[in-house]
Amino acid sequence: MELAAVATFLHNIYNGMENILRLILKAKGVALPASETSHRDLLELSVLEKVLSGSLADQLFPYLAFRHFFVHSYGFLLDDAQLIPLAGSIPNVYDKFISDVDMFMEKRRAE
């Protein structure tokens, strides 16, 4: 049950980040991806639009992969060897996400 809770937590955090990126890109007038790879495309588009740094996107790709696994798999397949490093890194990744979004918003306000 603990692994399922950690998995849900990670999915929710990443999903929230995606929602923020969608809102920012939509407000910027950028067409949102709608393909089978829309989640990956959203992350890449966020870098192209300078909402996120490339280094942060690189850090987020494992969470994107986990999101896919979480949505399309079964709970009994959860592996603590994969979850624990993701969970341990989330405070730093989240702080970097907030920092990148704040910097983007500051630049937008200055325009």
pLDDT in tens, 24-40: 999 999 999 998 899 99
For 67-80, give the DSSP string.
HHHHHHS-GGG--H
CA terminus-to-terminus distance, the chain: 48
The reported pLDDT for the residue numbered 87 is: 93
Q: Please provide the average confidence, as pLDDT, over all residues in the chain.
A: 93
Q: How far is CA 88 from the centre of its chain?
A: 15
Burial bucket for residue 64 (CB in 10 Å: 0-12, 13-18, 19+): middle
- What percent of the chain has a predicted confidence (pLDDT) above 90? 71
Indicate whether 98 pLDDT > 80: yes
The two tokens of residue 102 are 């704040």
pTM over 0.75: yes
The reported pLDDT for the residue numbered 4 is: 87
